[in-house]
Amino acid sequence: MAWSLFNLLIFPGFLFLFVFGLAMEFVDRKLYARLQNRIGPPWFQPFADFVKLAAKEDIIPEEADSVMFRLMPAFALASVVTAFFYIPLWSTQSLFSFNGDLIVVIYLLTIPTLTFFLAGWHSTSLFSMIGATRTLTQLFAYEVPLFMAILAPALLAGTWSLSEMTVFYDQHPAYAAFNIIGLIVSLIALQGKLERVPFDIPEAETEIVGGTFTEYSGRFLAMFRIAIDIEAVVGASLIAAVFLPFGLGLGAAWGFVFYLVKVLAVIALLALLRTVLARLRIEQMVIFCWRIVAPAALFQLLINLILSGVLRP
């Protein structure tokens, strides 16, 4: 019981995710700044921002639904933390594992986007509702390609368990090379899920102030921000486990080092995308996902379907 609580609350649970999420926010902001020839923030800036927000007053608009306004940040944070426990990190076995946990992880990572929509909609602010509508519109654009891209490697491995997938690719590392298209699609979709440039349309400061989070402040906004940081870590961890299943059989110490390197690599690629691209309009984002990203994910699915038929006739 005590060990389970340690895993859930300390390592690799909430405290680890909290610190790691803030650290990855610093890496992302620092890389973004350096790529733009700026100095960037000091290492403690993300933590200072969190403390500053947490210390501020929580203001709830009079016309807002106070219950939904308060609950949505907690639901967003709880869902991303829970998803982390089913992902193999530095070994082929996750903290909790069962056949079908891949579907559960994808489902849990969809919940934050829905909480963003509900939070914005129940804020009753014009800017928040526009941002909420854009959030939901984007969800229908990137979610299907992400599902297909993540499920394609599972189809080749012949299992819906993330732990069993990593065992398969650890034993057959050459098969991971067939999932490169899915890796690219997943990176693009994760950028959309995190609502980062060029997909930061729901939170476009120059158009709709703060979008979904316009009316949020204090601890509630701090919870949303840390949930997004943790979601970035969980999304990067999922991509690392599915598409970069290397170094998992080298023991806990080396496995943890490889895990950190892979997550850093994914965060660096996301920062690079944020640097070189400009914000798209909402219809451009939807057209791009359905005309390019979704067909690419479908092509990856067909490749793995054919390969699985050859491997297991």
70 in a structural domain: yes
Q: How many domains does the chain have?
A: 1
Residue 124 lies inside a defined structural domain of this protein: yes
pLDDT above 90 (res 90) = no
Residue 1 domain-assigned (yes or no): no
Could you tell me which residues come within 8 angstroms of residue 205 by beta carbon, excluding any fewer than 6 positions away? Answer: none
* Whole-number pLDDT of residue 203: 82
Distance from chain centroid for Cα 64: 28
The sign of the dihedral angle between the CA atoms of 180, 184, 248, 161 is: negative
Q: Which of 156-160, 186-190, 227-231 has the lowest mean pLDDT?
A: 156-160
- Surface-to-core class of residue 136, CB atoms within 10 Å of its CB (0-12 exposed, 13-18 middle, 19+ buried): middle
Whether the per-residue pLDDT at 251 is higher than 90: the answer is no
Assess if residue 298 is contained within a domain: yes
Beta strands in the chain (DSSP E): none
Q: Is residue 2 part of a domain?
A: no
Residue 126 has pLDDT above 80, yes or no: yes
The pLDDT of residue 105 is 94
What's the pLDDT tens digit per position in 3-39? 777 777 787 878 999 999 999 999 999 999 999 889 9
Judged against a pLDDT cut of 90, whether residue 250 lies above it is answered with: no
Task: Give the pLDDT band (50/70/90) at residue 313.
Answer: low
With bands split at pLDDT 50, 70 and 90, how would you rate the model's confidence at 263?
very high
Range of the domain at 301: 7-311
285, part of any domain: yes
Would you say the C-alpha torsion 248, 249, 252, 254 has a positive or negative sign? negative
CA atoms within 13 A on the CB side of 195: 30
Neighbours of 19 (CB within 10 A): 12
With a cut of 70, say whether residue 153 has pLDDT above it.
yes
